[in-house]
């Protein structure tokens, strides 16, 4: 009988350790609870030692399990680094490039540029991951991220594409005209829901008393934009999204929430031909992007 563990065995231990339960590990692995149960029993049988203590609340590593999980993490980290370095040896601008960005940036800014990229680099297949969560470039969740950031993480490289301006907008049909800062709390506000991860906006609205004036809440900026267009109320929106909309009126710019837009990648990938081609494309398009991001009248 072969008692040596293979990579799948190590992954099984690591997934259960990370999730703390068989059901959680099965979800991470795209498997089932019974399958994960059989796998961990087989691993423990190979080694002749118990790797987890079983509790009603979940699974906890034993001392032996800690050793196996530590090795599994090291193996996974090494595999990720190797994949990045091997990918960096590609010399042809072709293949798949994973781009992570937000729904608002894709809708209001990047979609036309992606269409142009398709004509410029027809052999590159762009896989766009649309999420308001921050993609982890170090574990290859994406090759390139285009997102707002105060400053990029130290382990990433990239360039600043411009500054995203923000302003308060309402439908022209409301006839609000320009507003004074002292009048903000009296406006009918469309605000972010509690589930929306936008701490800067939540804080800004609380400080100015606008939180109490919310008549509608949305869990995305695109939802807030749609609500403003429908004449429900006013909202703080990025200028690149709202300014081209003739049905909307800018009531007041809010410099406090302006943010830099960054294009980022991992250092191991920046010289990969297909990654470099996409980076260069957006770098060349920067002048046009800056004009659109700025949202100037």
How confident is the prediction along the chain (297 residues), in pLDDT tens digits per residue?
567 888 899 999 999 999 999 988 988 888 898 999 999 999 999 999 999 999 988 999 999 999 999 999 999 888 877 777 666 555 558 899 999 999 999 999 999 999 999 998 999 999 999 886 665 565 567 899 998 887 777 778 888 888 999 999 999 998 887 776 668 888 999 999 998 888 999 999 999 999 999 999 999 999 999 999 999 999 999 999 999 999 999 999 999 899 999 999 988 888 888 999 999 999 888 777 776 776 554
Residue 135: the pLDDT is 58
Residue 285: the pLDDT is 82
Q: How far apart are alpha carbons 234 and 188 in whole angstroms?
A: 6
Q: Where in the chain is the domain with CATH 3.40.190.10?
A: 95-164+259-294, 166-257
How many secondary structure helices (H) and strands (E) does the chain include? Answer: 11, 12
Residue 287: the pLDDT is 73
- b vs e for 72-86, b when ≥16 Cβ sit within 10 Å of the residue's Cβ? beeeeeeeeeeebee
The CATH number of 166-257 is which of 3.30.70.1230, 3.40.718.10, 3.40.190.10, 3.20.20.140?
3.40.190.10
3-state secondary structure of 146: strand
Residue 268: the pLDDT is 83
Class of domain 7-87: mainly alpha
Instruction: Please report the DSSP string for 158-174 in residue order.
Output: EEEEEEE-EEEEEEGGG
3-state secondary structure of 289: helix
The residue assigned the tokens 């999980």 is 69
| 152 secondary structure, DSSP code | -
Q: What pTM, to 2 d.p., does this model score?
A: 0.67
CB distance 233 to 227 below 8 Å: yes
For residue 276, which phi and psi values (nearest 5 degrees)? -60, -40
∠ CA 295-232-224 to the nearest 5 degrees?
45
For residue 162, which phi and psi values (nearest 5 degrees)? 160, -170
- Is it true that domain 95-164+259-294 has CATH number 3.30.360.10? no
Residue 250: the pLDDT is 92
CB distance 190 to 235 below 8 Å: yes
Run of H or E residues at 73: helix 63-87
Q: How far apart are alpha carbons 69 and 59 in whole angstroms?
A: 13
Residue 297: the pLDDT is 43
CB distance 229 to 169 below 8 Å: no
Q: Where in the chain is the domain with CATH 1.10.10.10?
A: 7-87
Residue 90: the pLDDT is 56
């Amino acid at each position: 009988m072969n008692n040596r563990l293979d990579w799948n065995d190590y992954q099984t231990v690591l997934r259960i350790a990370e999730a703390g339960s068989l059901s959680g590990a099965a979800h991470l692995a795209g498997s089932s609870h019974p399958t994960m149960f059989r796998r961990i029993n087989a691993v423990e049988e190979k080694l002749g030692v118990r790797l987890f203590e079983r509790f009603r609340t979940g699974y906890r590593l034993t001392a032996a399990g800690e050793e196996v999980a530590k090795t599994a993490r090291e193996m996974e980290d090494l595999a990720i680094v190797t994949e990045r370095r091997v990918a960096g040896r590609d010399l042809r601008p072709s293949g798949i490039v994973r781009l992570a960005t937000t729904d608002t940036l894709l809708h209001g800014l990047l979609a036309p540029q992606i269409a142009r990229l398709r004509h410029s680099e027809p052999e590159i297949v762009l896989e766009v991951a649309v999420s308001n969560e921050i993609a982890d470039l170090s574990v290859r969740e994406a090759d390139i991220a285009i997102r707002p950031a105060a400053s990029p993480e130290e382990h990433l490289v990239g360039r600043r594409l411009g500054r995203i301006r923000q302003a308060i907008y309402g439908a022209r049909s409301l006839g609000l005209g320009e507003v004074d800062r002292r009048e903000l709390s009296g406006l009918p506000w469309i605000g972010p829901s509690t589930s929306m991860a936008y701490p800067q906006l939540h804080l800004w609205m609380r400080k100015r008393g606008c939180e109490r004036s919310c008549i509608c809440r949305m869990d995305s900026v695109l939802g807030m934009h749609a609500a403003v267009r429908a004449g429900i109320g006013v909202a703080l929106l990025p200028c690149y999204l709202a300014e081209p909309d003739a049905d909307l009126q800018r009531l007041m710019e809010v410099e406090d929430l302006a943010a830099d837009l960054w294009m980022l990648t991992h250092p191991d990938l920046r010289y990969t031909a297909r990654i470099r081609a996409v980076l260069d494309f957006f770098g060349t398009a920067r002048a046009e992007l800056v004009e659109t991001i700025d949202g100037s009248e």
